[in-house]
Structure 1
Amino acid sequence: MATPPDDGNGFLSKERIIAAPGFNRWLVPPAALAIHLCIGMAYGFSVFWLPLSKALGIKEPIKCAADVGFLQELFTTTCDWKVSTLGWMYTLFFVLLGSSAALWGGWLERAGPRKAGVISALCWCGGMLISALGVYLHQFWMLLVGSGFIGGIGLGLGYISPVSTLIKWFPDKRGMATGMAIMGFGGGAMIGSPLAAELMKIFASDTNVGVMQTFVSMALVYFVFMMGGALSYRVPPSGWTPDDWTPPPAQANNTMITQDHVHVSKVWGIPQFWLVWLVLCMNVSAGIGVIGMSSPMLQEVFGGNLIGVAKKFTELDKTQLSAIAGVAAGFTALLSLFNIGGRFFWASLSDKLGRKLTYVVFFVLGGILYFSIPASASAGSKTLFVASFCIILSMYGGGFATVPAYLADLFGTQMVGAIHGRLLTAWATAGILGPVVVNYMRDYQIGLGIPRDQVYNQTMYILVGMLVIGLICNFLIRPVDKKYFMTPAELAEEKRLAHDKAVASDVGIGTMTMHETNPALVWMAWAAVGIPLAWGVYRTMLSVAKFF
């Protein structure tokens, strides 16, 4: 793929963001979080589905005629969109995330995180504005183009924009650093969903459901945060290491950390890449399948016991069904907290255990928990059931957060962001594989007449099988053969193309003097992302309280 022309020492160029001596590396994680917390709202877009499904009818949906198919829904202005049609935006988000990260990951390494972050902000927020216009004109194709395609590209670039930079700033804490950023992507919906719900209440009227105004408002707020994050990115000078830290020898503590670097153009032909690809795909397939069915599974397995009524799910009346749905919403909120917390916890722990052993824990412990769920369900043990799901979801999030460090260990840090972008095609695959297996198995079991509280048993065993495949692939991962690494001359050329410099003055920006970062600036940066995150946790805890 052709590389965009070099913009010299322009404002967005990588040379402009080489850190001066004395720069505090703890300013970089909040910059990454500012972007990830915004694009993470992709997980929470379902909050718009019901209001959009009655955008014309306001109180009740105006249903389309039976002969109106999906293509007609793209352009109709006389009837409301179905929720199933709106769901295509969610699908496009993650297909475009994976594909755009794979396509432009190599360019990102050379252009730098600032330029990628700015483009991500323009795409994600601009896509929301186009979607707002689509809501106003009632043209669904504009929502697909705006948030689906353009926004999806912004997702991909924003997701991988900080990976390489964080790993280079934190060679001593690779897992923790990437865990912090990717935790933000998991937490984006935790902030965005309640914010969107509040804004829609404010903007809703007798003639408007408030979605258009909410899109515009959120796009403007997100643009400020994302631009602030993008412009705050700094990259370390080439060869920089923290004080009093030396790189560990290769294969120390079974982490298989290499000191060499693989070019992204070679990874498709390296066995270890495909093994890590399958490791991520299996872990995510199992986890994403559980996320999709956690709420209905809890309701169908425990039925009236969730509200102290000794009845099965099919025996409950409408009021009782509504009550257990509220309990299940609290359960889903609880899982989201473990998904987010697991991203930081497991990724940080992988710095101690090593990436390979961490994934062994994911697959072995996860397999045991999946296998135990049918038994805890049949025994009526809500505590074991809920605890199993919470740990499973923590490892689902932990898998996302640990894999960039795994790649850096195996393939080096020079092009890890680009390699991570290509690996995200495993996520796109898992996003189809996991839900399809779970949903079709559920329908098949119901079709056989199996009681609803037992229809998930076989599914759990299939997910265990996926984890066994992932475990085998993880065991097969070995250090990358020397023949795949760049030679010193190739590495020097790649560093030249990537504008890696020893100091910022190498590119004519001026003589850099020692200037310690003001600690107050670090605290302000963390407060800017920490306060919204704390608010999101608080709102989520209110939902969790319904469960208990």
Structure 2
Amino acid sequence: MGLLQAAKWHYSSTHYERSPAQIKSEERLVPGVPFNRYFLMPAAVLIQVCCGSLYAWSGFNLPIERAIYGPDLSAKKVAIDRGLASNVFFVAVAVFGCTAALLGPWLERNGPRKGAMIGSTLFFIGNLVTALGVHVQSLALVFVGYGGIAGAGLGISYISPVSPLQKWFPDLRGLAAGLAVCGFGAGSIFSPFTQKALIGPDYANTGEENLGVPKTFIILGACYFVVMMAASLVLRMPPPGYAVKGMDIHTVKGAESFGIVAPTKTLSDSDAALDKSESHHTVVAVPDHDRLTAANFSLRLHEALASREYILMYLMFLCNEATGLLIISKIQSITQNQMGQTADTAASINSALGGCNLAGRLLIPTLSDFLGRRKPLFFVSLCAQTLFLALLPGAIDNQQYGLFLTCAFIIAFFYGAGFGLIPAFLSDQFGSRNVGATHGVILTGWAAVSVCGGLVFNAVYKSEVTRLAPVITQTYDLNFRWLLAFTSFGITVTLLVPTGLRDRRLPRKSGEWFRFRFFARLVRVINGVPRVTSKADEDAEWSEYLARLQPATQAAEGNEIYGAAR
């Protein structure tokens, strides 16, 4: 098998094979304790809390540079931000995203438990190598340890709980997505304080340490490893034919009414005792006049990744995350150097930013379940980030500390909201069967922002420091301005993402560039010319499309939905 064929198979096959004995064993959390889907939520949060320590990296920037290069010779005991250690964060995020994209299909084929265990191990090893790098004063080894090995471990660990939660909670995709990733924001709430306490309260400025930087990485790495490994034992995929309220892993937004043909798992007595509301795990009858199922509208993985709607969602997500990522990476440095606050205050701001990140990841996806829509909330997120990003330079230049915090907190809130919304949005559009893979690939947008955006951000910052010296309050202004282009572009892209079932699945006309709705009428742009499709013509096209799907339904009936490879 050639490289191209192997890649095609990797992104086409997501069949998860389990023996009857394994399926039976997964009905129990531990011997004597029946498994319930709600057990996944705290396990997911614990894994993500450990992964979210990545967001506290800015607290390591100055201590690592002090440990490797010593104090600023021009100021003796004052820390200096050389803009070097912060690049480790960007590399880690890049490796994170690429690993999630590469191993997403593998995760679907092998299950979340194996993925979480491998990710936990890599993250632990990465922390140990980082500690060694600081000890021997090698920044290159720090890049390998945290940027490379730990970043890869974080990538696979991050998506491991997201995939099963989307499959177990097709009825609460927003809440499940929010809980699956909210812990990532929580990791940066306590991490700044533990880092500072272990290293030394003001080590970067005075050189006085408690345990020092290397031992801090060892201790925290070991703690994360124990917690993540224990939580990974809870992760598992749902049994064959599992569905809730007529929705299964294939159901896309708008196709709920087509029902399910395959046998559906019902709750055990113990499950019902824990959650009486789940008595709705029953087979949904398919009307005689319409034998189509939700599975007929679920795309294969490679079809989903190549679709126009996925490409638009990719760009939308990239634009939504760019600003928050870059601000979080530098927040402690900005708070100390540009706003003149102490190291303790900077750590507190980093922690508060993590709280905003967490709140956005949980509240906005949950709200999307209530509204039944995800796209409008992405639109609101990008508009809010655009507004407060525009206000941020003036807040720093004029030393308006309250406005600075308001801008940073709101940007962090909606940055987190994007991460919480995207798994549920992907499940709505493509079904949850391949969400581990579609979610993993879309994280490369975040990775691209980290590498390209991070390097540009640091390069522009250094150039502005030289140009504006000795003034430092305006050194980030130019960076904030070019980030406005990303958020503004994202607003436009979001409006173009199709969310209606007909808009997504109705076959395209020859020469059709894109389509949109205008006062409920379908408008196709064909060879650059907008053409309105009448309601009668649209209905006729839709009926013809459904008729063509009927043979596929006949072939699919009787198959076990979760196990059948498409």
Amino acid at match of 2:439: H
Q: CA RMSD in A?
A: 4.4
Deviates more, 1:445-454 or 1:397-406: 445-454
Partner of 2:328: 291
Amino acid at match of 1:478: P
- How many residue pairs match? The answer is 456
State the Cα deviation string for residues 34-55 of structure 1 (Å, max 9, x = none).
2111122222244444444455
Partner of 2:526: none
Among candidates 300, 303, 314, match of residue 263 of structure 1: 300
Partner of 2:364: 346
> Scaled by the length of structure 1, what TM-score is found?
0.70
For residue 162 of structure 1, give the secondary structure of its aligned residue in structure 2.
helix
- Answer yes or no: is 1:113 the counterpart of 2:112: yes
State the Cα deviation string for residues 152-209 of structure 1 (Å, max 9, x = none).
221111010011211122222211111112111122232333223333459x999995
**Larger relative contact order, structure 1 or 2 (CA cutoff 8 Å, min sep 6):** 1
Amino acid at match of 1:17: E
Contact kept? 1:176, 1:348, Cα under 8 Å: yes
For residue 172 of structure 1, give the secondary structure of its aligned residue in structure 2.
coil
Contact kept? 2:162, 2:181, Cα under 8 Å: no
Q: Aligned-pair distance for 1:218? A: 2.4
State the Cα deviation string for residues 473-531 of structure 1 (Å, max 9, x = none).
11111143367999566896984377x9xxxxxxxxxxxxxxxxxxxxxxxxxxxxxxx
Amino acid at match of 2:153: G
Among candidates 211, 215, 232, match of residue 213 of structure 2: 211
Counterpart CA distance in 2 for 1:137 and 1:448 is: 34
Specify every segment of 5 or more residues in structure 1 that has no aligned partner in the other structure, as ranges.
Answer: 64-81, 253-257, 304-320, 501-548
- Answer yes or no: is 1:335 the counterpart of 2:353: yes
Counterpart CA distance in 2 for 1:50 and 1:490 is: 59
Q: Aligned-pair distance for 1:23? A: 3.3
For residue 465 of structure 1, give the secondary structure of its aligned residue in structure 2.
helix
Contact kept? 1:129, 1:215, Cα under 8 Å: yes
- Shift of the 217–329 alpha-carbon distance from structure 1 to 2, 3 Å rule, reads closer
- Shift of the 147–10 alpha-carbon distance from structure 1 to 2, 3 Å rule, reads farther
- Shift of the 328–207 alpha-carbon distance from structure 1 to 2, 3 Å rule, reads closer
Deviates more, 1:185-194 or 1:356-365: 185-194
- Answer yes or no: is 1:24 the counterpart of 2:61: no
Deviates more, 1:361-370 or 1:117-126: 361-370
Partner of 1:186: 185
Contact kept? 2:357, 2:412, Cα under 8 Å: yes
**1:445-460 superposed matches below 5 A:** 453=473, 459-460=479-480
- Shift of the 388–267 alpha-carbon distance from structure 1 to 2, 3 Å rule, reads same
Q: Aligned-pair distance for 1:107? A: 0.9
- Shift of the 384–52 alpha-carbon distance from structure 1 to 2, 3 Å rule, reads closer
Counterpart CA distance in 1 for 2:95 and 2:388 is: 32
Contact kept? 1:18, 1:236, Cα under 8 Å: no
Partner of 1:234: 236
Counterpart CA distance in 1 for 2:209 and 2:402 is: 46
Amino acid at match of 1:496: G
- Answer yes or no: is 1:36 the counterpart of 2:48: yes
Partner of 2:227: 225
Deviates more, 1:217-226 or 1:20-29: 20-29
State the Cα deviation string for residues 304-346 of structure 1 (Å, max 9, x = none).
xxxxxxxxxxxxxxxxx4x566555544433222122111111
State the Cα deviation string for residues 412-459 of structure 1 (Å, max 9, x = none).
111011111011110011123444555555566667659755565565
For residue 98 of structure 1, give the secondary structure of its aligned residue in structure 2.
helix
Partner of 1:522: none
Contact kept? 1:179, 1:347, Cα under 8 Å: yes
Counterpart CA distance in 2 for 1:473 and 1:53 is: 40
Contact kept? 1:108, 1:116, Cα under 8 Å: yes
Counterpart CA distance in 2 for 1:49 and 1:449 is: 23
Partner of 2:101: 102
For residue 298 of structure 2, give the secondary structure of its aligned residue in structure 1.
coil
Contact kept? 1:41, 1:192, Cα under 8 Å: yes
Q: Aligned-pair distance for 1:300? A: 7.7
Counterpart CA distance in 1 for 2:465 and 2:71 is: 29
- Answer yes or no: is 1:467 the counterpart of 2:483: no
- Shift of the 376–35 alpha-carbon distance from structure 1 to 2, 3 Å rule, reads closer
Counterpart CA distance in 2 for 1:344 and 1:123 is: 27
- Shift of the 45–383 alpha-carbon distance from structure 1 to 2, 3 Å rule, reads closer
Amino acid at match of 1:285: A
For residue 233 of structure 2, give the secondary structure of its aligned residue in structure 1.
helix
- Answer yes or no: is 1:355 the counterpart of 2:367: no
Q: Which protein is richer in helix relative to its size?
A: 1
Contact kept? 2:115, 2:160, Cα under 8 Å: yes
**1:67-466 superposed matches below 5 A:** 84-135=83-134, 142-201=141-200, 210-242=212-244, 250=254, 260-292=297-329, 294=331, 321=340, 323=341, 327-353=345-371, 354-373=373-392, 382-436=401-455, 438-439=457-458, 453=473, 459-466=479-486
Amino acid at match of 2:173: R
Q: Which protein is richer in strand relative to its size?
A: 2
Counterpart CA distance in 2 for 1:148 and 1:336 is: 21
- Shift of the 430–248 alpha-carbon distance from structure 1 to 2, 3 Å rule, reads closer
Contact kept? 1:19, 1:234, Cα under 8 Å: no
Amino acid at match of 2:415: Y
- Shift of the 467–226 alpha-carbon distance from structure 1 to 2, 3 Å rule, reads same
% identity of equivalent residues:
30
Contact kept? 1:14, 1:110, Cα under 8 Å: no
